[in-house]
Amino acid sequence: MQSRDVLDTLIWATDAGHSAMVALNDWGSPGERPTQYLSDVAADDAIIEILHAEGFATLSEESGHLYSDRELTAVVDPLDGSTNAARRLPWYATSISVVDADGPWVSLVTNHVSGQAFAAVRGEGATCNSVPIAKRQPVELSNAIISLSGMAATNPGWAQFRCYGALALDLTAVAFGNFDGYIDCSVDAHGVWDYLGALHVCQELGIPVVDALGRDLVVLDHAARRTPVCGVDQALLDQLLAARSSWQTTQ
């Protein structure tokens, strides 16, 4: 299987999931568990069906870890930012990252409002709508626009912040130049499906993404939760990590 074939499958699955969601009359109808919507389930069903037929194992927020004995695992968030989608806030996406024994291999994060499709292939860089994304230049904290999840205890000196509520898009926005960093101000609120596709996009551009507590972010465990922090360069990342650490010690 070639990376181009895998990416084509991810595009196909993403489109099918989006079509299944759009076909619903009410995106806000609740699912079977807290924070789940029927739109999550509809998108997941369509995506998982295609991925399984194409030979992938899946690790999905909605349907768990299936066919785990297969060589390639697709880590799936069928609808990242589902509360945004339910309220028609224009910041939601599908994220799929295919992982092999060496980590993320082929990933796709698709913004369903803007139509931007962020793709990454290991060792080949990252693209937005098939156009290579330029590598970011360092940014001083005092000039930085930072995306947050949760509430920051203090402002450590950034220029501005935003809190949009879809981690996959927040991280791809760092890769694309809309944001300069990201801090998860909560503790262990995110599963691997929330960030892995976007983490891969960042990695291909040399943008560091780490767990605030120093753990591996690439983990095929449905129960695992992590606390991602990202900075466009290592110096900015170190400052954001230091700020977040100081918040923890004062809480």
pLDDT tens for 94-144 read 999 999 999 999 999 999 999 999 999 999 999 999 999 999 999 999 999
* pLDDT tens digits for range 135-189: 999 999 999 999 999 999 999 999 999 999 999 999 999 999 999 999 999 999 9
| Model confidence band, residue 47 (pLDDT cutoffs 50, 70, 90) | very high
CATH top class, domain 141-250: alpha beta
* pLDDT tens digits for range 197-206: 999 999 999 9
Topology classification of domain 3-132: Fructose-1,6-Bisphosphatase; Chain A, domain 1 (3.30.540)
* pLDDT tens digits for range 196-247: 999 999 999 999 999 999 999 999 999 999 999 999 999 999 999 999 999 8
pLDDT of residue 57: 98
pLDDT of residue 31: 67
Pair 42, 86: CB distance under 8 Å: no
Q: Where are the domains of the chain?
A: 3-132, 141-250
pLDDT of residue 1: 83
